[in-house]
Structure 1
Amino acid sequence: MQALTKHRLSLSIFFFLTGVNFSSWASRIPTIKTNLGLNEAELGTVLLAMPVSSLIGLPLSGWLVSKYETRVPLLYAFLLNAICLTFIALASTSFLLVSALFMFSMSMRILNIAMNTQAITLQKQYDKKMNGSFHGLWSTGGIIGVGFSTLLISLDVAMVPHLFAVSGLTIAAALYFYRYLLQNDKSSAGNKLTLSKPDPYILYLGLLVFFAALCEGGMFDWSGIYFQQVVGEEVFTAGYFIFMIFMALSRFISDRIIDKIGMPATYMMSALLIFVGIGLAVLFPSFWPAMIGFSLVGFGTAAVIPMTYTLAGSSPKYSAGIAISLVTTFGIVGMLIGPPMIGYLAHAFNLQVSFVAFALAGVLLIPISKMFFKLQRDA
């Protein structure tokens, strides 16, 4: 049990640090937009670099988690991810920013697959649900990252020393905790992708992740700008901060919620919270209604992805690493479509109207989850 505890602690640290790195970049998006003089549509185009590079990284990430112990690609991808933060900070043109984001997202793709494969394997060894708590630590890292960013922004600290400091600290921590990660977890079966008609088990789970990622990724990229331009808050990280707090809270208790009401009801609850939260923020675009709305959206989106990864880990056709990689691809497509779509809708209409797309995506979780559980019952 002591060895399992060390594995869980070290993996928790990596989830936490990944959240710190991601939120540190995301909280500086309004700064980057201003520094490079980008409008909403141009920013949306720049953000395309991230999901495109993640899609390109699909075969690489799947191959790495099936070829090696997952801790190997996990460490190297994390180091590259942290180093890319410094390149993002130094990018002085749109081309350099796109190049930095491309590598940042590619490394995150590999990192997420490796971390989640370790989490599913460890969860099976403990024989109890804990994937939600790992993702809760990712969100907690996000809270720490955006809280630190908010402090530095209020003190007028420039982006370059900020992201350099985050990169150096997270690299040092990762190198220390790597030694305690789970070893000898390479799967011996289910590692081969077959080119045939889509597996319905993976397809339905993928669609759930797609719509959750569309909401989650869009909120990461646009919540700060929404508070800056629509709500009119000078400290524009407030909306992103409250979104991350409630996402973390939800993920820490999601495993208990699932045990109490079951996965089908949890998907329905998530969908309703997203819809109501976005409705509040759009219909009443002032500080407190928007804060409450973003809180509900954070609570609603949080459980969907870890819950769906847990289901993917039980795929009857593929190993956990391959199944999670396939399902994650749908999430990447959601992130590919979401942030640029919001940018283009905002440019064509306004940012307030564009957020309605998140509410629609949330509602679609209900029929798709119903189809998946019907498939599961029939099987």
Structure 2
Amino acid sequence: MTSQPPIVTSANTPATRLATRLGFLVAGFGIACWAPMVPFAKQHLNLNDAVLGLLLLCIGIGSIGAMVLTGIIATRHGSRPVIIVSGFALLAILPLLTLAPGPLYLGAALLAFGAALGSLDVAINLHAVEVEQSANKPMMSGFHALFSLGGFLGAGLMTLLLSTGSPLLIASLVCAAIMLLAMGLTAPRLLRDKPEASETLFAVPRGIVLLLATLTAIAFLVEGAILDWSAVLITERNLVDEQSGGLGYMLFAMTMVVGRFSGDALSEKLGDAKLLMISSMLSIAGVAVLLSVQQTYIALSGFLLIGLGLANIVPVLFRRAGTQSIMPPALAIASVTTMGYAGILLGPAAIGFIAQTIGLATSFWMLALLLFGVMLSTPKACK
């Protein structure tokens, strides 16, 4: 008689929690390693803002397309195989980004990089939902904090390596090796069970859900702009040199980690509406400081305010999506997630085209205006 595999009775085990945290860490680490590389790619290939924006659009196209396929594959086979394949693909593609001899090659590499990232993002969130539901207590903010921690570590390590004179290829290989170690620990600890075949992974938002999804897209758009354009912005403003271009995102990611680890306690104490209002105001103030001050250390402190503000905007919006009554919570959260990722992946490309016409700094002022819209929408979003 052929032995049957053991039945998984609980998704919430120390092993699955570790795997989930490491999966988020790898995703954040991998995409953050790209941020300090952007100025090098722009200079090496002699790209203007519009062309660079078009290349960054390849990340969004690859990610959005992969997200649709990930939903289908994960429904049939579970999130585990997608996490494994996309995680290892992400670390393998990272060094290839440094070898681009021209814009066409870089665009193809970024397309594949975005596809791996999009698949990993969706699959690890599906894995996190299973673990959180089994635990019967809030855990999502903590999981997402690991994504932010990965961003801080990835940008910090890449910036450190480049600042000490390491060649770009060597720096990317070091970062890829760390991701390889993390994925080696993640793969054997992932859930092996499959979700229900009827599970719905996408729905068109309506009513209050459409508002929540739009606000989420704005928050993610700002985060994507900081990821892809912060190094270019601060180097063009002569706040730092190219080797230190990743410092801005590193500071941003650091306060994102702090904010997300404390987000659940703050929400319980202040309430969602007040927390969303304060978070929006902090983000707007951060953009203003970054763009208005020429003194390096004061200007860079704007990244701290932006990160601290953005940290809890998305968790609050996700929480509201789960408690509204217009749509089933699962469908509402799926809609908010999809539009949110569209913002973070497609928004930075739009920034490039706008910057080509009105300047990069003015484009960032437009982000502050969008965040002001989030602040004004708080009463309706949290009623």
Do the aligned partners of 1:211 and 1:364 also contact (CA within 8 Å) in 2?
no
Residues in 2 aligned to 1:2 and 1:74: alpha-carbon distance in whole angstroms: 16
- Distance of 1:67 and 1:205 partners within structure 2: 29
Distance 1:185 1:87, change over 3 A: same
Q: Give, in angstroms, the shift of residue 105 of structure 1.
A: 0.9
Matched, 1:348 2:357: yes
After the TM superposition, which residues 97-116 of structure 1 pair with which residues of structure 2 at under 5 Å, given as runs? Answer: 97-116=106-125
Deviation at 1:131, TM superposition (A): 1.3
Looking at structure 2, the residues matched to 64 and 256 of structure 1 have their Cα atoms a distance apart, in angstroms, of: 36
Does the 8 A contact of 2:253 with 2:307 survive in 1? yes
Helix, strand or coil for the counterpart of 2:13? helix
What is the count of residue pairs matched by the alignment?
A: 371
Q: Tell me the equivalent position of 2:92.
A: 83
Per-residue CA deviation, residues 324-379 of structure 1 (Å, 9 max, x unaligned), is 543232123323553233323332233222210121121222344433334xxxxx
**Among 20, 45, 53, which residue is 1:36 paired with?**
45
| 1:251 alignment counterpart | 260
Maintained 8 Å contact 1:20/1:143: yes
Query: What's the offset of the Cα at 1:133?
Result: 1.5
Task: Give the conservation status (yes or no) of the 8 Å contact 1:267–1:366.
Answer: yes
Partner of 2:4: none
User: 2:145 aligns to what?
Assistant: 136
Once residues 311 and 202 of structure 2 are traced to their aligned partners in structure 1, the CA distance between those partners, rounded to angstroms, is 29
User: Cα 1:315–1:193, aligned 2, differ >3 Å: closer, same or farther?
Assistant: farther
The answer for the alignment partner of 1:213 in structure 2 is 220
Q: Distance in 1 between matches of 2:182 and 2:347?
A: 32
Which consecutive residues of structure 2, in runs of 5 or more, have no partner in the other structure? 1-9
Kindly provide the CA deviation profile for residues 126-183 of structure 1, in whole angstroms up to 9, marking residues without a partner as x.
2322211211111111111111112111122111122123223312331332222234
Q: Distance in 1 between matches of 2:78 and 2:45?
A: 41
Q: Does the residue aligned with 1:27 lie in a helix, a strand or coil?
A: helix
- Alignment check: 8 A CA contact 1:120 1:313 kept: no
* Counterpart mapping for 1:190-205 below 5 A: 190-191=199-200, 198-205=205-212
Gaps (5+ residues) in structure 1?
Answer: 375-379
Question: What are the Cα deviations for residues 99-125 of structure 1, in whole angstroms up to 9, with x where unaligned?
Answer: 111111112111111111222222222
Q: Deviations over 1:284-337 (max 9, x none)?
A: 1321221221110011112223443455566875684x6554323212332355
Q: What CA distance in whole angstroms lies between the structure 2 residues aligned with 1:184 and 1:222?
A: 40
Instruction: Note the C-alpha offset of 1:193.
Output: 5.3
Q: 2:336 aligns with which of 320, 327, 336?
A: 327
Code of the residue aligned with 1:11 in structure 2: it is T
Matched AA of 2:149:
T
Q: Give yes or no for contact 1:20–1:145 (8 Å, CA) kept in 2.
A: yes
Q: Which residue of 2 aligns with 1:339?
A: 348
2:267 & 2:108 partners in 1: Cα distance? 40
| Matched position secondary structure for 2:262 | helix
Give the letter aligned to residue 223 of structure 1: S
- The more displaced of 275-284 and 346-355 is 346-355
CA contact (8 A) 1:190 1:318 kept: no
| % identical equivalent positions | 27
Q: What is the aligned counterpart of 1:68 among 60, 69, 77?
A: 77
